[in-house]
Amino acid sequence: MEVSPSVVWRNKPYRYRLEVRRCPKCGRAFREEVEVCPKCNERTERVRMAGRGKLLSWAKVCQVPEGFEDFSPLYFGLVELEDGSRIIARLTDVLEEPKIGMEMEAVLRKVRADGSTGLIEYAIFFRPAF
């Protein structure tokens, strides 16, 4: 089984809603359920990151990993969100070559499907705003 039920289930807050745990003292954000900041020993708070931002950099991958053939080519982007966070995410609906600085918006998309009988993984991607 390529797509693990427990991993899909555990990653839902970040992958479905861009929710992270953030340390109120140092501001570090965690995608995983880290309840106490390992640096400050402060209890982290659950926050939802912004769904819009600007493209800082991008890459196109044509030699895709096994299981991603249906989605080739893959685009990845470094996006600076409106709340100041910077994240790396899959890009989608790349209808023409991306441009640095372009406005991006979050959308839910299919990451991959585990064959024809396994689980389907979903996550937030970013696409050029229109």
Backbone CA torsion sign across 22, 28, 34, 37: negative
Binding residues for another protein restricted to 67-106, rule: CB under 8 A = 69-71, 90, 92-93, 95
**Judged by CB under 8 A, does residue 31 bind another protein?**
no
Q: Which of 3, 17, 54, 80: binder of another protein (CB under 8 A)?
A: 17
Closest CA to 79 of 64, 89, 70: 89
Choice from 7, 10, 16, 84 touching another protein (CB under 8 A): 16
101: CB partners within 8 A, 6+ apart: 54, 55
Residue 26 CB, nearest approach to another protein (Å): 27
Instruction: Let me know how long the chain is.
Output: 130
Which CB, 27 or 73, lies closer to another protein?
A: 73
Question: Tokens in use for 4?
Answer: 């693990």
Residue 62 in the binding site for another protein (CB under 8 A): no
Give the separation between CA 126 and CA 78, rounded to whole angstroms.
10
Contact 104, 78 (CB under 8 A): no
Q: How many residues bind another protein (CB under 8 A)?
A: 20
Question: 25 vs 68, which CB is nearer to another protein?
Answer: 68
The residue type of 82 is E
Q: Across the chain, which distance is largest between two alpha carbons, in Å?
A: 46
Q: Which is nearer to another protein, 19 or 80 (CB)?
A: 19
Question: Binding residues for another protein, per CB under 8 A?
Answer: 12, 16-17, 66, 69-71, 90, 92-93, 95, 107-111, 120, 122, 125, 130
